[in-house]
Structure 1
């Protein structure tokens, strides 16, 4: 069994319920790409701190991902893991921590994400001086860029290589930067780096206009979608819920209804991995058919939901898609 490929194991054992949905969705992903379709992947929450980069970076290098939408946390936390991994602390008993123990973590400069503590000094502050220089250089030159573009510039400059603490092949942001993969980061302002940028603006050291906005991200995405929607079209692979998924999926009804581009196609594949159950008013737990009523998906769009933990499911699906 130890030499059995992951894909064979999945096909032999994942036969029913969420397991079968995983297989169906992964096969649908492969079929979409085989028909020359494009694929957007959206990352909610803190998937980078869950080290999704180990499998996602390989997907990017193998041209299985054409566009990413992610939270600002995922954007920065992949790079933090790249440069400060040895300083992270795991807290397996995180459910048992008292408020006093949580306060002790704060005083030690450890910011907890579930069972993992991110070290403020080695992660946030180590990056701060380098990303500030990218922001300042752009402002002095009268240039403006998106949040992810500044991150790409920082990574490609080589300034961070001295800090690498994991194999760089496991950083999805580095893989994306090397391919100049298009990204949108809705709500970037609520990330740590977004907060840091805002603090420099409040102090008068930077101008808000040096950072391109969320509206500009939407117009950038609209241009990309229009240019890439011919043929099989663009698929939508959503990991988690929230703004990372809701922002980009809305580009289709925006173009169809508000721009009156009635020839724009719907998303041509949809899969969501989420542990959110269907409930009142929930976007993350909404079934795919609800998206038909909003002009996002067509009646015949292949639709899949895997109701499970994305930290478990996504790497398995990526392994299957990669033919492992």
Structure 2
């Protein structure tokens, strides 16, 4: 397809270094999809609060991604932005804040993520009230679901629509729910909703088993990969580091090394956007070739690393893949 002005600008100007890596990785992503491949996108950091949904939602709608892995924070923060956007507070001078000013933000129920403060009452508590009902209903029936399945129940119930404060087309969670996209959420307990759910368990109001945990999440991913890795295979597009990238990528060596499923294909494409420095023992900063030694990528797997800010790079790459 013909490319739009953003894509033309990128290909004309981005010719060297990280800029060239961005273009090469985007072209390879596009080629992988054109050949019938599938793609996993993993979200680390605070990409939902960075409003990546503006570009990621369209990627989902146009079937440029088939599965997402994200932190529990990214799972919930897209919905928080959806229902409480006008209550967020930007702090452009965040580098100059004193400890006393940080405490003042806390006292005002504003939790800071770099230059953006998430409003506790309008975001966290607004979701909590509705999630509590859904959790307790499942708990009473003895039903168990993965974290993203509970979030989809919340979206499909329609109770959040009264609060929408952004254009719904800019929410990647709404787009994912519409497509019924599977979302892998390792370490969900490390999130506001995970903390809140844990508090109910401690108080004896729910069973911990009502939300499926890490082992069942890996089993779910293993089954999905087995069903979807035929043909051109599944690519791996990693935004940031941490558990959202570390957890899913190791399902492949687990399948053929630990389960003995020797026909399991490697990941068919790999790109990581990261500003993590390559250093001794740094997994997030490791060059892609190191993953060959762990049985995740093969010698001829297309491999890219763009050492830059994902909040800048990812929307540009998505724009190219979408032909914008």
Corresponding residue pairs, total: 322
Alpha-carbon shift at residue 129 of structure 1 (Å): 0.7
Match of 1:316 in 2: 316
8 A Cα contact 1:236 1:271, kept in partner: yes
Q: Deviation at 1:158?
A: 0.4
| 4-13 or 94-103: bigger deviation | 4-13
Further displaced range: 138-147 or 117-126: 138-147
Q: Deviation at 1:4?
A: 6.4
Gaps of 5+ in 2: none
Q: CA deviation at 1:298?
A: 0.2
- Residue 210 of structure 1: aligned partner: 210
Q: For 1:4 and 1:232, locate their aligned partners in 2 and report how far apart those are by CA, in whole Å.
A: 27
Q: Structure 2 matches for 1:60-139, cutoff 5 A?
A: 60-139=60-139
Q: What CA distance in whole angstroms lies between the structure 1 residues aligned with 2:247 and 2:298?
A: 18
The residue aligned with 2:154 is: 154
Corresponding residue number in structure 1 for 2:268: 268
* 1:1-324 alignment, distance < 5 Å: 5-324=5-324
User: C-alpha offsets along residues 100-141 of structure 1, whole Å, 9 cap, x if unaligned?
Assistant: 000000000000000000000000001101011110111111
Q: List 4+ stretches of structure 1 deviating above 6 A.
A: none
Is the Cα contact below 8 Å between 1:156 and 1:178 reproduced in 2? no
Q: Secondary structure at the residue paired with 1:42?
A: strand
Q: Secondary structure at the match of 1:50?
A: coil
8 A contact 1:43–1:69 mirrored in 2: yes
RMSD: 0.9
Deviation at 1:316, TM superposition (A): 0.3
In 1, Cα distance between equivalents of 2:281 and 2:187: 21
CA distance in 2, matches of 1:246, 1:267: 13
Displacement of 1:28 in angstroms is 0.3
> Is the contact between residue 44 and residue 244 of structure 1 (CA under 8 Å) also seen in structure 2?
yes
Instruction: Give the structure-2-normalised TM-score.
Output: 0.99
Deviations 1:77-106 (A, max 9, x none): 000000000000000000000000000000
| Shift in Å, 1:40 | 0.2
Contact residue 4 and residue 323 of structure 2 kept, 8 A: no
Query: What SS does the corresponding residue of 1:263 show, helix, strand or coil?
Result: coil
SS at match of 1:68: strand
In the alignment, is the contact (CA less than 8 A) between 1:136 and 1:206 conserved in 2? Answer: yes
Q: Runs of 5+ in structure 1 lacking a partner?
A: none
Q: What is the alpha-carbon distance in structure 2 between the residues aligned to residue 4 and residue 70 of structure 1?
A: 30
SS at 1:319 equivalent: helix
